């Protein structure tokens, strides 16, 4: 499985021990859908770094109203998965092709009961679609980019509110990258403080 090796480096003048969040947006859905905090980097002091992986491969799992999760299945754009009733309970299986080659779909093929569709990367929740009722499907599509920003009170794996999302506008392309440093600069106290900024350095291409 191809994996992009990323390394967050704090070169800022941050005085507030800020958290940094990294996430993706599901571009196949309506504008109102909120994003999940995929990776939250905490307590990374100026001068310190935090390496992490971004696998190109995703996995998909279904969850139900009882808090149960299906096994995670490898999910590639262009595939459709279905939640069906099996002999010993609900099952998640690859069921064919998605209607769009760039999308991953999960169809609720049960006769009753809503499910939640979950996409994971590197074992962490990347995106979720709740309350998928019978006959409906959740659709996921991601550009090869990540968003990164400074946040507070954000928990990894949880949905972020619209106020947080609207405050983060740094989008970094990972297209064709094998490894790179994500460097944070800015910060500080008082009138000398600068906005936080993020840039790619030491980029190695495939």
DSSP output for 6-67: EEEEE-S--SS--EEEEE---TTS-TTPPPB--EEE-S--TT-EEEEEEES-EEEEEE-TTS
Q: Which of 122, 140, 158 is at the close of a domain?
A: 140
Count how many domains the chain has.
2
**Is residue 30 predicted with pLDDT exceeding 80?**
no
Let me know: does 132 contact 109? Beta carbons within 8 Å. Answer: no
pTM: 0.95
> Does residue 136 share a domain with residue 69?
yes
Identify the CA nearest to 182 among candidates 134, 145, 140: 145
pLDDT band at 146 (very low <50, low <70, confident <90, very high): very high
> Does residue 169 share a domain with residue 120?
no
Handedness of CA 160, 57, 170, 13 (dihedral sign): positive
> Does residue 68 share a domain with residue 23?
no
> Does residue 153 share a domain with residue 51?
yes
Domain that holds residue 62: 58-140
pLDDT digits (tens, 9 = 90+) for 77-132: 999 999 999 999 999 999 999 999 999 999 999 999 999 999 999 999 999 999 99
């Amino acid at each position: 499985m191809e994996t992009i090796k990323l390394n967050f480096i704090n070169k800022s003048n941050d005085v507030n021990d800020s958290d940094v969040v990294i996430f993706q947006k599901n571009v196949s859905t309506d504008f109102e859908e909120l994003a999940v905090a995929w990776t939250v980097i905490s307590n990374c002091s100026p001068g310190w770094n935090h390496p992490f992986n971004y696998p190109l491969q995703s996995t998909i799992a279904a969850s139900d109203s009882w808090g149960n999760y299906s096994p995670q299945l490898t999910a590639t754009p262009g595939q459709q998965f279905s939640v069906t009733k099996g002999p010993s309970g609900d099952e998640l299986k690859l069921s064919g092709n998605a209607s769009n080659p760039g999308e991953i779909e999960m169809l609720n093929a049960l006769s009753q009961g809503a499910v939640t569709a979950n996409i994971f990367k590197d074992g962490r929740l990347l995106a979720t679609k709740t309350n998928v009722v019978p006959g409906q499907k959740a659709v996921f599509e991601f550009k090869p980019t990540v968003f990164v920003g400074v946040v507070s009170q954000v928990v990894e794996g949880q949905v972020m509110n619209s106020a947080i999302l609207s405050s983060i506008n740094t989008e970094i392309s990972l297209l064709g990258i094998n490894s790179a440093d994500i460097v944070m600069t800015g910060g500080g106290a008082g009138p000398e403080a600068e906005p936080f900024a993020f840039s790619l350095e030491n980029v190695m291409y495939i």
